[in-house]
Structure 1
Amino acid sequence: MNNTLLKKQRIRYFLMNMLAFAIIFLTLGIVMIRLVTTNIYKETDQSLINMSEKDDLIQQEIDRLSGKDNNLTQTPPPDPTGENLFNSQIILWSKDGTILNNDENNGRLAQLTQLKLDKSNLNTVNSLEVSSESGSGSFSFHSITKKYTNSDNNQIAYVEFLVNTNQVTQTVKTFQTGLIIAMFISWIISLFISYYLSALMMRPIMKAWRKQQDFVENASHELRTPLTIIQNKLQSVFQHPDQTILNEAESIALALNETRRLSILTNDLLTLARGETNTYSLDLIEVNSQEFLNQLVTPFREIAEKEQKTLILTNTLSQLVMIDKEKIHQLFVILLDNALKYTTSGDTISVTSKRSGNDWLLEIANTGPSIDKSAQQKLFDRFYREDTSRSKQTGGYGLGLAIAQQIVHLHHGKIKTLDLQPQGIIFQIKIPLTK
């Protein structure tokens, strides 16, 4: 993966994260402003509706207009500074849109030069923004206009109820401004987070790419050697057409041997590839661990005896285990074959099987050479061999332990290595006993 492609991919992730954060903040801001605006005017609108339903308030304003009650006409004088003095007000409108009760309110409504009669939205709460007469500011109102149907006063055609919302509106604007500033700052911070996340998202891609590159290089290297040997031997046979099969038996046998090695290698690679693409399905059955391990260990015990080694099986697990019998058999073959390869005459190989909590605990230990901690962490990597020269002598490709780890993971288990004192190594496996 070249640097240009890597840079483009990282920029793409950065833009995706940035856009995602922008959408989240924008949606959150709209929802919060909507909720605040709806709830903050709720009490004001309800009080306005209640006021519009009280006929006695309308009658009081009509009495004030007609001068029937002198006490009602004694309203406070207007503020000389021109500021708004009222929070709620009843306006009596004529048919032509003239305010009838302006004088009775000592000219307080005269401040609202742009207030007009709106007949289009009767009996509903509406928002109004009206400029003052002096032009020094504007007033915010919520209002309800109702048609006046009482025939006692022919001058009055409509009644409008006003509630001043200047303070509430200013509070909403302050909240909106503060929210926008906070969202903008948060979005700027999110840009840095997006840049970091884009780098974080590239890590598994780079890791997978490096893993793939290593796999291709190692596989190519392992395939090249046997293919070269086979090619050379076949060319040698064709260079001597007069030779009999018996005379070329060594070359043919060597070519066949390398062909078998290629077959094993390709099968191992196919096994790993299937495991990584989740195309493997386990055939789980209940197995008696005593019988299963005894049958499995017997041929390896015979091989160990011929090589003057000791193989010990200790099994204290008496219950049935739910496993894929073929896969676990392959797991033991890999580990026991590995133990036999890297031990010498007089060494001991021990297989321990027991219950540990809800797990089937298996330990395959050998008293062969110990392995460094740094090397233990790489043992399950594909094509890794601690001692390359020794592995070539034993015919290993470094795929066995990777397959073993894959089998354990397919059973939702864990495998790790431990040091055996004073010398040796232990492969410890835990497989859940629950179905």
Structure 2
Amino acid sequence: MFKKLRNRLLILNMSIISVVMIGAFAVIYLTTYNNIQTENQNKLELLSSKPNAAYLNLPDDTKKEKIIIGIIPSESSLSFNMLVNSDCEILKVISHIDMPEETYFKAAELALSGKKNTIISLENKRWQYKISPLNGTLVTREHGKKLIINSNGENVQITFLDITDSHKTLMELFTTLFFVGIIMLFVIFAISLFFASRSIAPIAETWEKQKQFIADVSHELKTPLAIINANSDALLANEGETIKSQKKWLDYIKNQTDRMGKLVNDLLYLAKTEDTNIKMLDTPFDISEIVSDVLLSMEAVAFEKDITLLQEVESNIIIKSDCEKIKQVITILMDNAIKYTEKKGRINITLKKTRHQLAFSIKNSGKGIPKKNLSKLFDRFYRVDPARTQENGGYGLGLPIAKAIIDRLGGKIYADSKENDGATFTFTLGL
């Protein structure tokens, strides 16, 4: 399921980025193409607009030659002009390019058989040409006299412009964009796969935690329900007995019902605490006094196990937070420390204030918690020693509740432990 979701995110991300990339490349290419085409067209217009002056300034000894070589235009691009009559015969060619005469005839043939303002390939070069009618009168000199060659616009002029370099530039740009696009697609695929996997990871983790949560709740409810069912069968098997004689079975049922009620209440409280729509209180109070009150309430339980309570609590520390929630966290940590401290052990409680935050920590003596278990301590229903926890009547929800409260209050809570040196639980709150 999550693999399909990841693939969908990957395809969506790839599609969006690819469309944007292709669009950007298309804009770059089309802009460059239009600029080059406009520039070539302007050159061609300029070359085709000045034919008559070139013809009129020809020397007299060129009158019998169709091709005149040596007149170099001011433009940097190669070009040449042709004068063609109505019978498609070449009258004159003005060119500074040394090409065979057959090449010029081929150029005229290709141009006249094609469309106006188009492109031909000739002599391993690409030429853009323009066919335009001669509106003026073209004259040449013969024995000092002027003769009219064209007066009715029957002759046409064909202007050729070498656009090989422009075409090469466009092809190089297209090739560059193509290969860059291919490389970018692979890079985008790798990046998209990485981020799609990272995006799915929290969802998959939450899903697994939810499945584990359901399994844990089912497991925790299974034993009490089995006990209740067995004791109910025992009661039904002795219908004639009095309630007093059946009190043992009823006590078992009542005990397991109370345990299930506590479990349900803890789960509801945890869900309520994690609900971000429910606002936490934010009032000033003396946390030093709260710590002292909790310690005082726990002294009797600690005394039963002969546990020594050592405290280093700064006085008169005023913070602005939810008093009842903070008290509950301290109670959970204190109760947890007493449960997991051996007889005649000790517990150190510390409350200190720095410039920007306060820190509360509680450390108990004992064998400690393995490092591999530290990261799981705040998971729901997690127990380092399940058998011992069952003896204490816990479900492994105390620490998750404490973490949910501290997280909602904007603080941090964590655990640390060394082998045979007990465990330390600490939470910090900003001031």
TM bin (shorter chain): 0.7 to 0.9
Unpaired runs of 5+ residues, structure 1, are: 1-5, 79-84, 121-125
Aligned with 1:103: secondary structure? strand
User: Residue 48 of structure 1 contacts residue 163 of structure 1 at CA under 8 Å; is this kept in 2?
Assistant: no
Q: Which residue of 2 aligns with 1:113?
A: 109
Q: 1:171 to 1:359 in 2, by over 3 A?
A: same
User: Residue 149 of structure 1 contacts residue 157 of structure 1 at CA under 8 Å; is this kept in 2?
Assistant: no
The separation in 2 between residues aligned to 1:258 and 1:71, in whole angstroms, is: 126
Aligned with 2:111: secondary structure? coil
1:279 Cα shift? 5.1
User: Residue 363 of structure 2 contacts residue 424 of structure 2 at CA under 8 Å; is this kept in 1?
Assistant: yes
1:170 Cα shift? 1.7
2:264 matches 1:286 = no
Alignment map for 1:78-97 (pairs within 5 Å): 87-88=78-79
- Aligned to 1:250, which of 242, 248, 253? 248
Q: 1:388 to 1:89 in 2, by over 3 A?
A: same
Amino acid at match of 2:17: I
Unpaired runs of 5+ residues, structure 2, are: 139-150
- Aligned to 1:31, which of 19, 24, 28? 24
Amino acid at match of 1:139: R
1:50 Cα shift? 7.6
1:319 Cα shift? 4.9
Q: Which residue of 2 aligns with 1:21?
A: 14
**Count of aligned pairs between the two proteins:** 405
Q: Which residue of 1 aligns with 2:119?
A: 129
Q: Which residue of 2 aligns with 1:412?
A: 410
Q: Which residue of 1 aligns with 2:392?
A: 394
Alignment map for 1:265-276 (pairs within 5 Å): 265-274=263-272
User: Residue 125 of structure 2 contacts residue 162 of structure 2 at CA under 8 Å; is this kept in 1?
Assistant: no
Amino acid at match of 1:372: P
Q: Which residue of 2 aligns with 1:352?
A: 350
Q: Which residue of 2 aligns with 1:236?
A: 234
The separation in 2 between residues aligned to 1:44 and 1:71, in whole angstroms, is: 38
Q: 1:48 to 1:193 in 2, by over 3 A?
A: closer
Amino acid at match of 1:87: L
- Aligned to 2:126, which of 139, 144, 151? 139
The separation in 1 between residues aligned to 2:275 and 2:61, in whole angstroms, is: 88
Note the alpha carbon deviations across 1:294-353, whole angstroms, 9 max, x for none.
333331234434543333443337553232333222211211111122224433323212
User: Residue 359 of structure 2 contacts residue 426 of structure 2 at CA under 8 Å; is this kept in 1?
Assistant: yes
1:242 Cα shift? 3.4
The TM-score with structure 2 as length reference comes to 0.75
The structure with more radius of gyration: 2
Amino acid at match of 1:411: L
Aligned with 1:429: secondary structure? strand
CA RMSD in angstroms, aligned pairs only: 4.4
The separation in 2 between residues aligned to 1:50 and 1:155, in whole angstroms, is: 23
User: Residue 14 of structure 2 contacts residue 188 of structure 2 at CA under 8 Å; is this kept in 1?
Assistant: yes
The TM-score with structure 1 as length reference comes to 0.74
Aligned with 1:352: secondary structure? strand
The separation in 2 between residues aligned to 1:428 and 1:340, in whole angstroms, is: 16
Q: 1:319 to 1:329 in 2, by over 3 A?
A: closer
1:252 Cα shift? 2.2
The separation in 2 between residues aligned to 1:181 and 1:409, in whole angstroms, is: 50
User: Residue 44 of structure 2 contacts residue 129 of structure 2 at CA under 8 Å; is this kept in 1?
Assistant: no
Q: Which residue of 1 aligns with 2:147?
A: none
Indicate the larger mover: 392-401 or 249-258: 249-258
User: Residue 80 of structure 2 contacts residue 95 of structure 2 at CA under 8 Å; is this kept in 1?
Assistant: no
2:59 matches 1:70 = yes
Amino acid at match of 2:110: Q
The separation in 1 between residues aligned to 2:21 and 2:87, in whole angstroms, is: 43
Q: 1:177 to 1:44 in 2, by over 3 A?
A: closer
1:404 Cα shift? 1.7
- Aligned to 1:382, which of 380, 383, 389? 380
Q: Which residue of 2 aligns with 1:341?
A: 339
Alignment map for 1:160-199 (pairs within 5 Å): 163-184=161-182, 187=185
1:129 Cα shift? 2.2
Aligned with 1:380: secondary structure? coil
Amino acid at match of 1:211: K
1:70 Cα shift? 3.2
